[in-house]
Structure 1
């Protein structure tokens, strides 16, 4: 048995609806099923999802506040008023700012940009910044990806005589800023048909209205922020991502060209959402995390090739620095959890420390969620201000924004989404804040919620996993939030050619086989299971189906995301030469019970076990007082061979509870002759020898064994049987024929019966095939529990 890392939840779907969509849209049944699972409930919506073209953009004027905003911006451009694009320092904010820069250039506006410094100012609008902008002659502020919570700051701008147009996508608070206009599809007054745009998506809609057409030449910028901000890739977000990725592969933006080059992606045939999320996005974020976001805006808006290359290299260097910083803080945070905030007492982790860079604590929080699977908040403490500032990441079932709202008495500033948020609070509030969050977690979450959930789309037969199927799945790309890469489940398969690969041998490569079906599979960071699985184990596997192309050959491939072996595993280590070393290594792998049937084995192993404090894990059937209590070990080691079926039945209760049985019996120096029970003809030869030589001295047993071509220990066993049947008499130093012995069968000897049973059992356990060995233990358990 091998347990899965996560809980698997197989999606339910309306099969009739899927069949109708497949038929009406000309789609493969699998693709239609996946559409239905993703909430596509009509043929029209299915066609729109698959086509995802610019004609499907919604009317930008359906956004509340759009009409007033466009009118005011056009007036400002006409009058050559100074316009400030006020953005945010993450990838979404940088993309939004850069997109609006390009639009303002098209419209001939007098403008500049402003992005606050994460470290000296923090997120959002700031009064000092607004005062400075007023002094510099700006009259109109357009926020992008920020501003929806800036009630006081907008009121202050109004007092200064500044008009503020807020464009944002974050959750609106109860009180909306009284700005000149607010464009946010989530605000209560807005009836826009899609409310999950990223900040750059809202900026794109404003650009659409200002230009009287969607700015398709800027859709690569829109895709960057949309994908990097992890908004659901459905509806307009899907259109922006799909069109944007297509343009990104042939972008004319020299900054993006330089960024793609520095990421080592210039020769990539097709850039995907994954490249944005794990390569381009992190570098755009790096400037704002460690210094300022100005370099990222410069990169995306410059028209100078050398400047673009320098900015791209600077962001790449900052990203390397960011990675090292994240690792250092993550290590410190993990140590803090282990020492100060044990998981059994903390359902929410709230960690804070002086010196932690607030620009990367969100990434650290994500790392901790991956490791501990707890809602996590990581904050950097500013000792001079007496404040803690940081980021939160959550798990399924715990709405972080709702939780922070419930704790708002401790939070002067906070904002965010269900799964992620940011906040600032006084250091003195940390403990009551932590306490209240944990109280909420006790009310909202069950123990099951702390096991990661993996949502599986469909179960497939291995024979149905074809190249054509894998190719059809590509029609659903781009994948991301709201449209995750499809996960398929394949059951009751075996593996072939399992091996470890990679520079550090940390990855797994194999083929999954069942009947006539076969597919190559790769598991990144799954090499650790290789010593834990048996050759004939049957797996349930979930993974991502894709097309692998190598040297012109295209084949389906499964990338393993999780797997389980639902049955008991039997490890065939019979006759291994490093028996004691293997026994010692198994002691570090969970609760283990070692069963010993023979006294000599117990005497051999006891000193080693006692030295390591493991003697309680030994169960010896050769001891008079056998005690094992109510043990339910997950792993059982059969160290030596049982002498009888009764011995084996005595321990079957432990075999029943075991997930893994390790067969260590059958020492290399244990010849089969020692366990082979002689037949009637061999006993006859020994008896005939005594007829010729009635008295055999013990000192002559070796010579007798050579004469009869028998092993010495085998001969001694036969003499014991003959003595029990009274065919010979045992004297102090000799064996003498009993001429008056009555004729009787060998079966009259208890020793012979036990010897024969031991021999038959040893033959079954030592000489059987692996499949027969597994069947043997299955039958033993079944017989004992029936």
Structure 2
């Protein structure tokens, strides 16, 4: 048995509906299952989903405040007023800034941009920057991807006589800033159909309204901002992301091309994962470690040489960011491990880079599945800056809103937030949020969930089916990549891969079709010793196509796995098990010794292991209690008989892994017990001859009958025990008229028969036969218990 990391939620649906949709659309059954799973069952809706166009875009003037906004910008352009674009330092903010700047430049506006420094100015608009803008003659400030929480800054702008247009997508506070106009699809009174635009999406809509045309030349930038900011990729957002990906593939601007070259990405194969894992983090790195200006300049420049220099600088910052994240993550985990894990994790330290603590928070959520806040302490100022990440069932923004009295600055949404607070209030926040989590979250909310979309069989996994699924991209929040499950499949091969064996590679086989499928489980290399090749493995993950040297093969990318049944790890006759480091310190391991034979070895077992020494007998009451709780069991030596091992197996109620070593004293295989016919023949010979000198004639009998000398000696001993013969100095005398007995009356015969049964069933059987025998023993016990319960 091997537990999955998450609770798998497997849907139910009508396979008839799947078949009908596949016939209507020409899609594979796997693709049709995907649509039925998402509630898309009409042919027209499927086609609309697959073939989106500009009709997916909403009228930008449906955004509240748009007319007033456009009029003011047009007037500023016409009057040559100085316009300042005030952006944010993440990938969404940088793309929003770049799009607005490029557009206003094209419209011949007097425009500049300003992105605050995360470390010296913090998040969002600030009074100092606004006053500086006024001093430089700025008449209009346009925020992009920020500003909705800038209530004070809006008052400052009004006092300075500077018009402020806020374009943002974050959750609005109870009282909106008193700005000239506010564009935010989430603001009260806004009926825009898509409230989930990214900051880049809001900027794109303003540009659309301002120019009167869809700005197709900016689709690449709006796609990067939309995907990097993790907004739902549904409806309009999905079109922006999909169209932007196509734009990058076919006509890549210098900055994006240079960045992709540095990342080693193939532009022709670019998808949402390329943006999410390669472009987004590099653009974010600039603002996380220093100023975001180089990232904005990279996207704005039309000069490829300049773009290459900027891309190199940004890429170096990203490498530095990765090293910092690794160091802080290790320190944060150490802090968590020092305490009992609370409902909400809040960790912090002086010197932690505030630009990367959001990434660290995400890693802690992945590790502990708890809402997390990571804080960077400034002890001189008595202030902590933090990033929060949450789990399903705990609305982080709503929860932080209940603590406004100790949170002078915070903003975000249900799954993530940023905050600034006084150091003295950290413990108070920790207590309040943990208490709130216990009050509002159900028991089920604390369990990590994995939503399975498509249970499939290996024979269904074809290149065509995977290509159908790829046509449903881009995937993301709201349109997650389908999680595929293969249930109870055989393992044909398994090995660790990577320089340090960090990953696992499998070959999985389908019983019905005998088809095989390659699978890779990244960062699960340590499970190599926890999965038996004999086990039936269930996996959940994503389907992909592996291309190598012109060959294309289906491939399964494993996200989670489990083995539902107990597992057998066959170490019979091999002491190597006792040198396996992955087992030596495991306190779950129980070692069972059936006899005295290997007492010295038993005494040398790892101290962490529990021990059960039966010494040739059945388990006593205390040992039965141990066996009932034993999860991982090592059988050190062979039992005296099958009854002894059956009694042990009968008591193991929660067995997960069994390691039979079954050491025995004999170097080779014990001879089998002679057949009944052999006993009959030899006895008749003794009766006929009356007496036989076996020292002289045993070899002759062995050659004539084809019997081994061991068998002959054994049969003589059994006859002697049963008093059928007497033996003196090697001469066997047949007893006249012996008492009537059967072979099983002989203790020697019974002991040998039992030993033969032990060896045949437990030592010389194949691994498959051994597991089947143990299953039969354990299943018989369950059946007996059920029968007994039914009779009661």
Distance 1:379 1:131 in 2: 30
Distance 2:582 2:82 in 1: 72
Q: In structure 1, the residue corresponding to 2:597 is in which secondary structure?
A: helix
Q: Does 1:479 align with 2:478?
A: no
Counterpart of 1:657? 654
Counterpart of 2:259? 259
Alignment of 1:390-409 (within 5 A): 390-409=386-405
Question: 1:305 deviation in Å?
Answer: 3.0
In structure 2, do the counterparts of structure 1 residues 592 and 620 end up closer, same or farther at CA, with 3 Å as the change threshold? Answer: farther
Distance 1:59 1:734 in 2: 110
In structure 2, do the counterparts of structure 1 residues 618 and 208 end up closer, same or farther at CA, with 3 Å as the change threshold? Answer: farther
Among 437, 441, 451, which residue is 1:455 paired with?
451
Counterpart of 2:294? 295
CA contact (8 A) 1:575 1:668 kept: no
CA RMSD of aligned residues (A): 3.2
In structure 2, do the counterparts of structure 1 residues 185 and 301 end up closer, same or farther at CA, with 3 Å as the change threshold? Answer: same
Distance 1:208 1:422 in 2: 30
Worse overlay, 720-729 or 97-106:
720-729
Among 510, 520, 523, which residue is 1:522 paired with?
520
CA contact (8 A) 1:64 1:191 kept: yes
In structure 2, do the counterparts of structure 1 residues 607 and 680 end up closer, same or farther at CA, with 3 Å as the change threshold? Answer: farther
Question: 1:52 deviation in Å?
Answer: 2.0
Q: Does 1:574 align with 2:566?
A: no
CA contact (8 A) 1:677 1:755 kept: no
Q: Does 1:468 align with 2:464?
A: yes
CA contact (8 A) 1:568 1:660 kept: yes
Distance 1:585 1:146 in 2: 50
In structure 2, do the counterparts of structure 1 residues 616 and 761 end up closer, same or farther at CA, with 3 Å as the change threshold? Answer: closer
Alignment of 1:546-557 (within 5 A): 546-557=544-555
CA contact (8 A) 2:488 2:537 kept: yes
Question: 1:453 deviation in Å?
Answer: 1.1
Counterpart of 2:556? 558
Counterpart of 1:383? 379
Q: In structure 1, the residue corresponding to 2:464 is in which secondary structure?
A: helix
Q: In structure 1, the residue corresponding to 2:268 is in which secondary structure?
A: coil
Distance 1:707 1:17 in 2: 74
Q: Does 1:113 align with 2:113?
A: yes
CA contact (8 A) 1:574 1:667 kept: no
Question: 1:531 deviation in Å?
Answer: 2.9
CA contact (8 A) 2:224 2:280 kept: yes
Counterpart of 2:218? 218
Distance 1:233 1:292 in 2: 29
Counterpart of 1:67? 67
Counterpart of 1:763? 760
In structure 2, do the counterparts of structure 1 residues 68 and 502 end up closer, same or farther at CA, with 3 Å as the change threshold? Answer: same
Alignment of 1:685-704 (within 5 A): 691-692=691-692
In structure 2, do the counterparts of structure 1 residues 740 and 36 end up closer, same or farther at CA, with 3 Å as the change threshold? Answer: closer
Worse overlay, 552-561 or 71-80:
552-561
Question: 1:556 deviation in Å?
Answer: 2.0
Distance 2:780 2:717 in 1: 34
Worse overlay, 249-258 or 623-632:
623-632
Question: 1:685 deviation in Å?
Answer: 6.1
CA contact (8 A) 1:494 1:536 kept: yes
Q: In structure 2, the residue corresponding to 1:388 is in which secondary structure?
A: strand
Q: Does 1:442 align with 2:441?
A: no
Distance 1:579 1:718 in 2: 38
CA contact (8 A) 1:619 1:626 kept: no
Distance 1:706 1:427 in 2: 95
Deviations 1:695-745 (A, max 9, x none): 99xxxx99x9999999999898767645543457899x9999796783543
Distance 2:647 2:603 in 1: 25
Q: In structure 2, the residue corresponding to 1:470 is in which secondary structure?
A: helix
Worse overlay, 10-19 or 468-477:
10-19
Alignment of 1:663-682 (within 5 A): 663-667=660-664, 669-673=666-670, 676=673, 681=678
Deviations 1:387-438 (A, max 9, x none): 1001011112111111111222221111111111100110010001000111
Q: In structure 2, the residue corresponding to 1:174 is in which secondary structure?
A: coil
Deviations 1:463-491 (A, max 9, x none): 22222111111110111221111111122
Among 514, 537, 540, which residue is 2:535 paired with?
537
Counterpart of 2:141? 141
Distance 1:337 1:473 in 2: 40
Q: Does 1:312 align with 2:307?
A: no
Distance 2:586 2:702 in 1: 46
Question: 1:596 deviation in Å?
Answer: 2.2
In structure 2, do the counterparts of structure 1 residues 28 and 379 end up closer, same or farther at CA, with 3 Å as the change threshold? Answer: same
Distance 2:215 2:183 in 1: 18
In structure 2, do the counterparts of structure 1 residues 70 and 12 end up closer, same or farther at CA, with 3 Å as the change threshold? Answer: farther
Distance 1:785 1:27 in 2: 46
Deviations 1:59-117 (A, max 9, x none): 00000011000000000000000001000000100010001011011111001111111
Q: Does 1:751 align with 2:748?
A: yes
Q: In structure 2, the residue corresponding to 1:133 is in which secondary structure?
A: helix
Q: Does 1:31 align with 2:31?
A: yes
Worse overlay, 448-457 or 675-684:
675-684
Q: In structure 2, the residue corresponding to 1:493 is in which secondary structure?
A: strand
CA contact (8 A) 1:533 1:569 kept: yes
Counterpart of 1:328? 327
Counterpart of 1:232? 232
Counterpart of 2:637? 640
Q: In structure 2, the residue corresponding to 1:232 is in which secondary structure?
A: coil
Q: In structure 2, the residue corresponding to 1:2 is in which secondary structure?
A: coil
Deviations 1:165-220 (A, max 9, x none): 10000011111112111000011110001110100000000000111011100111
CA contact (8 A) 1:695 1:737 kept: no
Distance 2:577 2:25 in 1: 62
Question: 1:518 deviation in Å?
Answer: 2.8
CA contact (8 A) 1:599 1:623 kept: no
Counterpart of 1:604? 600
Could you list the runs of 5+ residues in structure 2 that have no partner in the other structure?
784-792
Distance 1:288 1:143 in 2: 17
CA contact (8 A) 1:388 1:427 kept: yes
Q: In structure 2, the residue corresponding to 1:512 is in which secondary structure?
A: strand
Distance 2:704 2:773 in 1: 39
CA contact (8 A) 1:596 1:640 kept: yes
Please, what TM-score do these two structures have when normalized by structure 2? 0.90
CA contact (8 A) 2:590 2:610 kept: no
Question: 1:236 deviation in Å?
Answer: 1.4
Deviations 1:481-507 (A, max 9, x none): 211111111223112232332333332
Distance 2:772 2:682 in 1: 38
Deviations 1:640-689 (A, max 9, x none): 22222321331123344312222211548542226756767479869969
In structure 2, do the counterparts of structure 1 residues 100 and 11 end up closer, same or farther at CA, with 3 Å as the change threshold? Answer: farther
Among 493, 497, 513, which residue is 2:493 paired with?
497
Deviations 1:561-607 (A, max 9, x none): 2222212222232232535435x863434522222222213x13332
Worse overlay, 109-118 or 547-556:
547-556
Deviations 1:4-30 (A, max 9, x none): 121111235577876776566554454
CA contact (8 A) 2:493 2:533 kept: no
CA contact (8 A) 2:30 2:460 kept: no
In structure 2, do the counterparts of structure 1 residues 667 and 529 end up closer, same or farther at CA, with 3 Å as the change threshold? Answer: farther
Q: Does 1:150 align with 2:150?
A: yes
Counterpart of 2:776? 779
Distance 2:84 2:144 in 1: 10
Please, what TM-score do these two structures have when normalized by structure 1? 0.91
Alignment of 1:121-140 (within 5 A): 121-140=121-140
Distance 2:417 2:731 in 1: 90
Distance 2:656 2:102 in 1: 62
Counterpart of 1:512? 508
Distance 2:198 2:690 in 1: 99
In structure 2, do the counterparts of structure 1 residues 110 and 488 end up closer, same or farther at CA, with 3 Å as the change threshold? Answer: same
Deviations 1:229-281 (A, max 9, x none): 0111111111111111111123342222221221122x443111111111111
Question: 1:131 deviation in Å?
Answer: 0.8
Q: In structure 2, the residue corresponding to 1:102 is in which secondary structure?
A: helix
Could you list the runs of 5+ residues in structure 1 that have no partner in the other structure?
none
Q: Does 1:249 align with 2:249?
A: yes
